[in-house]
């Protein structure tokens, strides 16, 4: 991980079956070892009951007490840092199973939105992408998402929950600026650098939108690519380039962007490494 220029170090937790998710400014985070989720808070490690059998989780940047939990074929939401999961939010028609989840943070006017979230599913009569954007709302199908495309990974803009990027199982990279009403396929030349796409992140950098994708690299390349899209461009012509320098030739299994750093920190977990670099200024 890189907290500043030239300051590289390995993340302290996580192995080949899971990484960590940093929560808030108080140092609470979650990590998974040997398929068991742990929570470290104030220096104490415990095992939240609501995460005991979780497959994967997403922590709300707007309200760190909220956690979306994929448990088997179901999607639940915790309101108490994972101690319990009272709400079954599985989208109607999603028999099996939820394949990707992500929280939003803000509305376009800068106010927080603790309810905004996306969920992707892989099976069932209505499998695809589902969106929730307000209190009292369930997950509703994103009408612009292509039918029949399994959702593999989702990334949301922390400054506007309506802007999202999705990796679909049919090899597309889909980009929306309106909460899923319309999508553009921005895959372009990704395949020149990555032979398989696994994780995606979306970052605002001034007037631009930066999208990063991690996966399995082609021979001679690193495993993270990025592109820069001007804000308010719904169907951009993009060019993907290798991100950063000095990354080992290794497959990437997880990718996270942590905004508190003034350098714009992105962290990823590879086959035998965990690294990060500036999203706005590669290298």
**Residue 82 buriedness (CB in 10 A; 0-12 / 13-18 / 19+):** buried
pLDDT at position 111: 94
Q: Per the omega criterion (within 30 degrees of 0), is the bond before 97 cis? A: yes
Tokens (6 digits) for 200: 């995606």
pLDDT digits (tens, 9 = 90+) for 223-281: 999 999 988 888 888 999 998 777 778 898 888 776 654 434 444 444 433 334 444 44
Strand order through the sheet with 184-185: 151-157, 160-168, 173-176, 184-185
Tokens 């080949």 sit on residue: 16
Give the integer Cα–Cα distance in Å for 253 and 33: 14
How many percent of the chain have pLDDT more than 90? 40
Measured CA to CA, the distance from residue 127 to residue 130 in angstroms comes to 9
Cα–Cα nearest to 56, from 97, 3, 10: 97
Q: What is the sign, positive or negative, of the torsion defined by CA atoms of 30, 282, 105, 24?
A: positive
Q: For the ranges 10-19, 45-54, 98-107, 169-178, which has the lowest average pLDDT? A: 10-19
Among left, alpha and beta (phi > 0; psi -120 to 50; other), residue 262 is alpha
Task: Output b/e per residue, 123-138; b: 16+ Cβ within 10 A.
Answer: ebeebbbbbbbeeeee
Q: Is 41 exposed, middle or buried (0-12, 13-18, 19+ CB in 10 A)?
A: middle
Burial (CB count within 10 angstroms: exposed 0-12, middle 13-18, buried 19+), residue 8: middle
Write out pLDDT tens, residues 116-170: 999 998 766 667 899 999 988 888 889 999 887 889 999 999 889 999 999 999 9
pLDDT at residue 241, rounded to an integer: 95
């Amino acid at each position: 991980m890189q907290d500043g220029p030239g300051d590289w170090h390995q993340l302290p937790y996580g192995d080949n079956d899971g990484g960590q998710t940093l929560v808030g400014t108080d140092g609470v985070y979650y990590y998974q070892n040997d398929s068991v989720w742990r929570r470290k808070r104030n220096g104490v490690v415990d095992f939240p009951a609501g995460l005991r059998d979780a497959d994967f989780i997403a922590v709300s940047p707007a309200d760190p007490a909220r956690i979306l939990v994929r448990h088997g074929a179901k999607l639940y939401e915790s309101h108490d840092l994972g101690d319990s999961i009272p709400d079954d939010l599985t989208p109607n028609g999603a028999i099996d199973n939820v394949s990707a989840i992500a929280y939003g943070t803000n509305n376009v006017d800068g106010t927080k939105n603790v309810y905004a979230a996306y969920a992707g599913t892989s099976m069932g009569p209505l499998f695809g992408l589902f969106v929730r954007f307000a209190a009292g709302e369930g997950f509703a199908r994103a009408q612009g998402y292509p039918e029949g495309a399994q959702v593999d990974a989702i990334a949301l803009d922390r400054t506007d929950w309506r802007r999202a990027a999705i990796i679909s199982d049919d090899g597309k990279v889909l980009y929306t600026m309106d909460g899923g009403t319309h999508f553009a396929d921005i895959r372009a030349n990704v395949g020149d650098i990555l032979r398989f796409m696994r994780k995606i992140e979306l970052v605002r950098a001034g007037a631009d939108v930066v999208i990063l994708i991690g996966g399995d690299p082609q021979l001679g390349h690193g495993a993270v690519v990025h592109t820069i899209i001007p804000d308010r461009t719904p169907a951009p012509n993009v060019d993907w380039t290798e991100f950063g320098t000095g990354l080992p030739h290794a497959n990437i299994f997880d990718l996270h962007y942590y905004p508190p750093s003034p350098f714009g920190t992105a962290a990823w977990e590879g086959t035998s490494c965990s690294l990060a670099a500036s999203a706005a200024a590669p290298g």
